[in-house]
Amino acid sequence: MKIRVDLSSSAKDDSYDILIGSGIVNAEAGGEVIDVIKQAGLKGRACVITTETVNGLYERLFKNFLKNAGIEPVVLVLPDGESTKSIKYLSYIYDELIKNRFERGEFIIAFGGGVIGDIAGYAAATYLRGINFIQIPTTLLADVDSSVGGKTGIDHPGGKNLIGAFYQPKCVIIDVNLLDTLPERELKNGFAEVIKYGAVLDEEFFIYLENNYEKILSRDKDALTRIIRRSCAIKADIVNKDEKEAGLRSVLNFGHSLGHAVETLYNYETVKHGEAIAIGMIFASMVSEDLGFCTGETLNRIKTLIKNSGLPAKIPNFTPAEYINAMKLDKKVESRLIKFVLVKEIGGFVFKELDFDYIHEFLKKIL
C-alpha cells in the first residue's frame, strides 16, 4: 500500500510516497516499487549508504534489486552504531561522492536504520547544495519514525542531532521482510516509537497495541504491517500540517526531552534510542499526572505497555543536576524553559513549558 506525504502547499512541492509491503525489495522487484522509483524521477547512478551488518545480510539481494530497477550502485559501508552519525563519517561520504564525481542528477539511497537515514539524508541535503535521496529502512524504528518526515542530521559532542536540516526524501520503500533479521532488542527499540503514536495521538491504536504487543513482537507479518502502516499514516498527517516543526509536529517529541538526556548521559552507548524514549514517556506521563493533566490510570496504562513490551520502565539513577545539564542542550530550550509534550488522556496531549527548577525538584522527588 502507499501513503502520500503531501507537502504541495509548501513553497517547494516536496510531496512523496511511502510504499509498504512484504518482500518488495527483491531481485524480482517490479510493479509498484519500480513505479514509485520512476515517478520520483530517479535513474542512473546511486550512492548506496549502508552499514556493515546490513551489507553482510543483504548485499546480494539488494544489488540484484537495484539491477532490476535499472540503478547502478556505488556502495559505501559504514560502521554500525550511533557514533557513525558524526562529522568524521559525513566527511567520508563527501569524499566518496566527490571521488566518484556524483552530479545533481544522481542520488543517494539510505539503506539501513535511523543512523544511516539521518547521515545519508544530511549528506544529500548539503552535497552540491542538495541532491535527491530515498529511504529504504531496515529497522522498525526507521520504518515508523526516522525515514518519514525529512529530519536529517548528525550528532555533536555537545548533544544529539545538533547539526541537521529538514530535507525530504523522494520516496520511502518499507519492506516488512527486512525485519526478519532484526535482533529482538532492536525490534523493541522501534516499538517504543509506535507506543508514542498511540499514547498521545490515537487511543484506538493504543488499545490495539495493548491487546496485540505479543503478536507484534513475535514478528507476525500482518500485525507488523498494520502498526507500520498506521504509524506512518499518523506521522505523514502531522508532517503534512507542520513540515518544519513550527508547532503541531512537536507532539512527536513525546518522551524525547528526558529521553535525549538519558542518551547523552550514557554517551549514546548502553541505552538505545527507543529505550531512552520509553523512559522519557514514563517521565513525561508522571509529570502529566503531577500537574493534573492526566489520571493515574493513564500513567499506569502507558507504563504497563512499556514494561510488557520488555522496554525499560525505571528512570536511571543519575542525579537531578546531571539530568538538568543534559536537558539544557535540548533544541526545545528557550529562555530557561523547555517545551514538554504531556499526555492528557490516552490519545490526547498538551504542550507545556516547564522551568528547570520544577524539573529538578520533581526528579529529586522520584529518584
Please confirm, yes or no, whether 360 is among the known catalytic residues.
Answer: no
Active site residue 253: yes
Binding residues for NAD(+): 80-85, 114-118, 138-139, 151, 160
96 in catalytic set? no
State the Cα angle at 175 between 171 and 179, rounded to 5°. 130
Active-site option among 170, 196, 229, 256: 256
Catalytic residue (choose from 161, 186, 189, 193): 193
Closest CA to 17 of 34, 32, 5: 5
Q: Answer yes or no: 353 catalytic.
A: no
Pairing of strands 107-112, 71-78: unpaired
DSSP string of 34-48, one letter each residue? HHHHHHTT--EEEEE
Concerning whether 245 is annotated as a catalytic residue, the answer is yes
List 170, 249, 272, 332, catalytic entry = 249
Would you list the DSSP string of 254-280?
A: TTHHHHHHHHHHTTTSSS-HHHHHHHH
Q: How far apart are CA 202 and CA 345, in angstroms?
A: 10
Which of 106, 186, 245, 263 is catalytic? The answer is 245
Single out the catalytic residue among 170, 229, 230, 260. 260
Q: How many helices (H) and strands (E) does the chain have?
A: 13, 12
Measuring CA to CA, how many Å separate 46 from each of 35, 49, 73, 92?
17, 9, 5, 16
Active site residue 59: no
- Residue 316 gets which letter from DSSP? P
Name the active-site residue from 196, 273, 301, 332.
Answer: 273
Residue of 132, 161, 189, 253 marked catalytic: 253
The angle subtended at Cα 3 by Cα 305 and Cα 173, nearest 5°, is 85
235 catalytically annotated: yes
The long-range contacts involving 263-266, CB below 8 angstroms and separated by at least 24 positions, are: 263/82, 263/160, 264/159, 264/160, 264/326, 264/329, 265/316, 265/318, 265/322, 265/323, 265/326, 266/316
Residue 214 has φ and ψ, to the nearest 5°, of -65, -40
Bridge partners, 192 (sequence order): none
156 catalytic, yes or no? no
* 256 included as an active-site residue: yes
Active site residue 249: yes
| Annotated binding residues for Zn(2+) | 193, 256, 273
On the CB side of 252, CA atoms within 13 Å amount to 25
Q: Which three cell numbers stand for residue 165?
A: 536540516
Annotated binding site: 80-85, 114-118, 138-139, 151, 160, 193, 256, 273
Q: Catalytic residue among 129, 211, 314, 317, which?
A: 129
Q: What positions carry a catalytic annotation?
A: 129, 151, 193, 235, 245, 249, 253, 256, 260, 273
